[in-house]
Amino acid sequence: MSFKMVDKICEVSYSSIKTIKLLSIAEPVYEIHFPFFPVLPAVLLLENVKQSIDLFIRNNEEEKICLFQGVKKLKVYKALYPGDGIFTEVFLISKAEDCYVFDATIYHNETIAAKLKEVKVVVEKEKTAWEKELQSQV
């Protein structure tokens, strides 16, 4: 199952990106994640940041494949529900060869909903053999 966690890019620069996602009750996650009390799972906050990072890297470089390596710290301050809009700011902290490190903040109504520290992403220049094989099967 695939989740589109970025609806729009608001702003992008050489060191940051700002995106928006409007959470709809029609999101597939709400069918399985607490259907009688829908709340956005924290793993989709990670996915929101990862998709924002993908867009940032594709804006600043040629299209490449971004592999999520991990996050040092994730702190959720506020639950998010269908109907909420989330505004995500991702800042580039460092870049060494093909490894990027970012910090991110997710807002809801100008209140911090979550913070992520040291989100590490590795960029692959070419598709791996596994990805090429997978693509050929489609």
Question: So where are the chain's domains?
Answer: 8-137
CATH superfamily of 8-137: Hotdog Thioesterase (3.10.129.10)
**Helix, strand, coil percentages for the chain (3-state, nearest 5):** 25, 45, 35
This prediction has a pTM of 0.85
Residue 130 pLDDT level (bands cut at 50, 70, 90): low
* Strand residue runs (E) in the chain: 8-12, 16-22, 65-76, 85-96, 99-108, 111-124
Q: What is the pLDDT of residues 13-63, one digit of tens each?
A: 999 999 999 999 888 888 877 778 899 999 999 999 999 999 998 886 666
Residues designated catalytic: 33
